[in-house]
Amino acid sequence: MLTRRRLLTSAPALTVAAATPAVAAFVMPNDADADAELLRLGAEFERLYKEWIPLWHESERTHDVWWQTFEARGLTWNENQEAIFAVSHEVGNEHAANVSNAALDKVNETAERIRATEPQTLAGLAVWAKVAKFESMPMSVASVQEITANELEWEHECLLKFFDQVDRMAGAVAS
């Protein structure tokens, strides 16, 4: 039985994949000036994303501490929410979440500006792919660089591979 996975690893598929950067270079212009603003936004997105990831991890860590603390004190979610939120403040989760959310808002604002800018080159398309990669992965794997494709559901694995191929092709055409 021919499955999608077998097809993707077959010789014809590999031949097409190897030839694709050359075809893309012929079909799409490689004029960096055509996507200068998009490339600048892409660099801004990368910087903001890298700044956000450790803040998100800290927010997740303090969330776990908060949850464990209120459970250890015998508090239940439905009984005393005021006390539970006091624990959130006490362990720093409220602050960590606010800092992470503010940083994520900047990432999302830049992503929105990227989506509003139509790419003209493969390099510009690669910027779009990075944003789509970020936006299409579940929050549980928000730091896509920290996971392998094998840890994802099949649909996310396919998207991740596609986005990585766009990035690879953009690099191959640029060189």
In this structure, is residue 25 part of a structural domain? Answer: no
Comparing 172 with 85, which gets the higher pLDDT? Answer: 85
Rounded CA-CA distance 38/117 in Å is: 7
**Burial per residue of 52-79, b for 16 or more beta-carbon CB atoms within 10 angstroms, e otherwise:** bbebbebbbebbebbbebbeeeebeeee
In this structure, is residue 111 part of a structural domain? Answer: yes
Q: List the structure tokens of 80.
A: 């005393």
In this structure, is residue 14 part of a structural domain? Answer: no
What percent of the chain has a predicted confidence (pLDDT) above 90? 46
In this structure, is residue 89 part of a structural domain? Answer: yes
pTM: 0.71
Alpha helices in 93-145, H assignment, sequence order: 93-115, 122-136
pLDDT digits (tens, 9 = 90+) for 101-112: 999 999 999 999
In this structure, is residue 28 part of a structural domain? Answer: no
In this structure, is residue 123 part of a structural domain? Answer: yes
What pLDDT sits at residue 59?
95
Q: List the structure tokens of 72.
A: 């250890």
The number of domains in the chain is: 1
Domain housing 87? 34-174
Residue 23 confidence (pLDDT) above 90: no
Residue 171 confidence (pLDDT) above 70: yes
In this structure, is residue 15 part of a structural domain? Answer: no
Confidence class of residue 31 from pLDDT cuts 50, 70 and 90?
low
Confidence class of residue 7 from pLDDT cuts 50, 70 and 90?
very low
What pLDDT sits at residue 145?
53
In this structure, is residue 6 part of a structural domain? Answer: no
